[in-house]
């Protein structure tokens, strides 16, 4: 069984599981390690989305 990992697009930290700190944008779900990273993403999502490709 392969364990899925999630990457916080703000601080770039790998997360080993889904968290309650998440945002859905354009049909994609972004997970965050903390409310602080989630808040930064919500203020300027395009800045972080373009960094992940």
27 within domain boundaries: yes
Full residue range of the structural domain in which residue 41 is found = 6-52
Number of compact structural domains in the chain: 1
- What is the reported pLDDT for 3? 62
Find all residues with CB under 8 Å of 1, minimum gap 6, and list them.
Answer: none
24 within domain boundaries: yes
Q: pLDDT truncated to tens, each residue of the chain (53 aa)?
A: 556 788 999 999 999 888 899 999 999 999 999 999 999 999 999 999 987 76
pTM of the model: 0.84
22-25 vs 14-15, strand pairing mode? unpaired
**Rounded Cα gap, residues 18 and 5, in angstroms:** 8
Where do we find the tokens 């994609």?
28
Span between the terminal Cα atoms of the chain, in Å: 27
1 within domain boundaries: no
């Amino acid at each position: 069984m392969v364990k899925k990992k999630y990457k916080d697009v703000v601080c770039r930290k790998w997360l080993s599981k889904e968290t309650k700190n998440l945002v859905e944008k354009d049909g994609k779900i972004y997970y965050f390690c903390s409310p602080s990273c989630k808040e930064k993403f919500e203020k300027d999502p395009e800045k972080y989305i373009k960094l992940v490709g």
